[in-house]
């Protein structure tokens, strides 16, 4: 019996190619550009559109997870087919059409973080949405991959008619000069970036307090740890609920499976672990549909308990609403 090793599969295809005297040209040339990355689903009467901004392969080192052996982190990344020492960091934004308003949850990288991300605008166009028609932007927290898409590189507003709503505690933390001065060098860049994005539009920005609704059916819930004012969202329409986990669980292959791991980018690692477990436990108990900003596109699905952690179960792609 033939054993299908990778080597003999490659050998067989070479032999087949050699047997044909001249391989036929394909009837159509390759398109050579990606298909739009959009996924649309319903939560009650709300229409939710997941829009992909791309993926950043973020270099990491032995300091990446504060409380885990680097060998264990590397093994888990390898098991998730990530390149060595590069954390796959995909970005998915959500556009919610409540029937009354178009609400965008976080804004992506604005193409200002990695050359492999920044496709949100193209995907928005492909989804048939004009940026001018977006009524409200609700921000979960102030890391650059969530706020940079508010503006172009040249400081122009991408969504000129949208009210921008930000968590009150997040605004207070990042705009406090004492926190900027006390921050380690790596974090100072994020403080300066917050000033670049918000300083000239500060008077137009609305601050919200978690626990309140930012629109009918969109509740904000404090989820501190990743950053002090980090916020998640619960969308409710009819009997349907979608929990938007924001960055409480970054890539699920690492941080759902190992909820106790404390990555460098969680400002308060211990608090982030408690928040993560509380939200994932709730998602498991209620069999709730969830989405995570850094989950593999289209980033929605469910959470189950597995072993000492959790597992993300992707939602099956549907072609009808």
Q: In what order do the strands lie in the sheet with 205-208?
A: 38-43, 46-59, 86-97, 102-105, 136-138, 163-167, 205-208
Choose one: 31-39, 101-109, 136-144, 232-240; the region binding Zn ion (CB under 5 A).
Answer: 136-144
Among 145, 218, 220, 310, binds Zn ion (CB under 5 A): 145
Q: Which is nearer to Zn ion, 226 or 258 (CB)?
A: 226
> Measured between alpha carbons, how far is residue 267 from residues 184, 201, 270, 281 in Å?
11, 26, 9, 22
The angle formed by the CA atoms of residues 120, 125 and 130, to the nearest 5 degrees, is 105
Residue 284 near residue 303 (C-beta atoms within 8 A): yes
In angstroms, give the least distance from the CB of 102 to Zn ion. 22
Binding of Zn ion by 106 (CB under 5 A): no
In angstroms, give the least distance from the CB of 146 to Zn ion. 6
Among 53, 76, 170, 247, binds Zn ion (CB under 5 A): 247
In angstroms, give the least distance from the CB of 141 to Zn ion. 8
In angstroms, give the least distance from the CB of 232 to Zn ion. 12
E strands along the chain, which residues?
A: 38-43, 46-59, 86-97, 102-105, 136-138, 163-167, 205-208, 213-215, 218-222, 231-237, 240-244, 289-291, 300-306, 309-314
Letters for 189-228 (x = contact with Zn ion by CB under 5 A, - = none) are: ----------------------------------------
Q: Which is nearer to Zn ion, 148 or 237 (CB)?
A: 148
Residues that bind Zn ion (CB under 5 A): 143, 145, 247
């Amino acid at each position: 019996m033939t054993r299908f090793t990778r080597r003999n599969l490659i050998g067989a295809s070479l032999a087949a190619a050699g047997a044909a005297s001249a391989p036929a040209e394909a009837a159509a040339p390759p398109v050579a550009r990606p298909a739009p990355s959009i996924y649309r689903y319903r939560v009650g009467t709300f229409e939710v559109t997941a829009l992909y901004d791309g993926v950043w392969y973020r270099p990491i080192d032995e300091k990446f997870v504060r409380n885990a052996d680097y060998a264990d982190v590397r093994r888990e990344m390898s098991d998730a087919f990530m390149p060595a020492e590069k954390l796959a960091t995909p970005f998915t934004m959500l556009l919610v059409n409540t029937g009354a308003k178009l609400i965008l949850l976080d804004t992506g990288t604005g193409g200002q973080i990695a050359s492999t991300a920044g496709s949100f605008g193209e995907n928005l166009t492909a989804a048939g949405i004009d940026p001018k028609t977006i009524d409200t932007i609700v921000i979960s927290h102030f890391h650059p991959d969530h706020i940079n898409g508010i503006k172009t590189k040249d400081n122009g507003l991408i969504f000129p008619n949208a009210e921008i709503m930000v968590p009150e505690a997040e605004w207070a933390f990042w705009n406090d000069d004492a926190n900027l001065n006390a921050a380690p060098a790596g974090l100072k860049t994020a403080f300066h970036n917050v000033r670049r994005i918000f300083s000239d539009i500060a008077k137009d920005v609305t601050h919200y307090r978690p626990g309140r609704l930012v629109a009918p059916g969109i509740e904000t819930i404090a989820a501190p740890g990743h950053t002090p004012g980090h916020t998640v969202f619960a969308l409710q329409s009819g009997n349907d609920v979608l929990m938007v986990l924001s960055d409480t669980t970054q890539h699920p292959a690492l941080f759902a499976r190992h909820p106790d791991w404390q990555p460098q980018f969680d400002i308060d690692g211990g608090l982030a672990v408690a928040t993560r477990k509380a939200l994932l436990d709730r998602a498991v108990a209620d069999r709730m549909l969830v989405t995570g900003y850094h989950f593999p596109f289209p980033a929605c699905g469910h959470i189950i308990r597995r072993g000492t952690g959790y597992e993300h179960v992707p939602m099956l792609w549907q072609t009808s609403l």
